[in-house]
Amino acid sequence: MRAFVALLLLSLSTLSFAAPSAHSSSDQLAELLFNDPNSPRTGAKEPKLTIVSFTDYNCPYCKQFDPMLEKIVHDNPDVQLIIKLLPFKGKSSVNAAKTALSTWRQQPDKFWSLHQRLMMKKGYHDDASIAAAQVKTTTDGIRTDEKTMDSLKMNLILSQVLNIQGTPATIIGDQMVAGAIPYDELEALVKAQLAKARGK
């Protein structure tokens, strides 16, 4: 994973690191991508493969792709999924992301039910739909933590460093997947990356 991050950093035309700074920058980037406790995660505790998903509750393609990622994790016990909320699509994207991340910070066991409910809505969220999702998942007692904005800002910085233009964007092993792909392609990619990881 770190080799992939270093390669990304070195390949970005806007950045030119000497070897030592590339190494330290790649370590820092890997830490932010894979070890941030404020980023929701599910699946293996000691994964052979970690998937990092940049996603948005107002993105129609994310709504299609996110359940596929969760199924992949369910079906592959060596895989972990990390969610990086990237609210590209307006104020309601930000509000939904803040609500979800506040739940992760305060009641992490309830995050995934809220996450799934927010992903199920067709079209854009508004305050009413976010509140309705909270009621359905009994997370309506959770107060929005403004510290979640720090996480969202960091996700935006990460997206800029990784040259992410939209959501979903997904890191799977040493591959960056832009957009939603069919499930069979996703499954084949995950199997290939798992085989590569186990072979090391």
| Nearest residue to 85 (alpha-carbon basis) of 109, 67, 101 | 101
DSSP one-letter code for 142: P
| Domains defined for the chain, CATH in brackets | 36-199 (3.40.30.10)
Q: Are 87 and 54 in contact (CB under 8 A)?
A: no
- Tens place of pLDDT per residue across the chain (200 aa): 444 444 444 443 333 323 334 456 678 888 999 999 999 999 999 999 999 999 999 999 999 999 999 999 999 999 999 999 999 888 999 999 999 999 999 999 999 999 999 999 999 999 999 999 999 999 999 999 989 999 999 999 999 999 999 999 999 999 999 999 999 999 999 999 999 988 86
Question: Could you count the other beta carbons within 10 Å of the beta carbon of residue 22?
Answer: 17
Q: Can you give the pLDDT at residue 29?
A: 86
Cα–Cα distances (Å) from 97 to 40, 92, 114, 190, 196, in that order, read 11, 8, 11, 27, 33
d(CA 15, CA 20): 14
Rounded Cα gap, residues 56 and 96, in angstroms: 9
pLDDT number for residue 199: 81
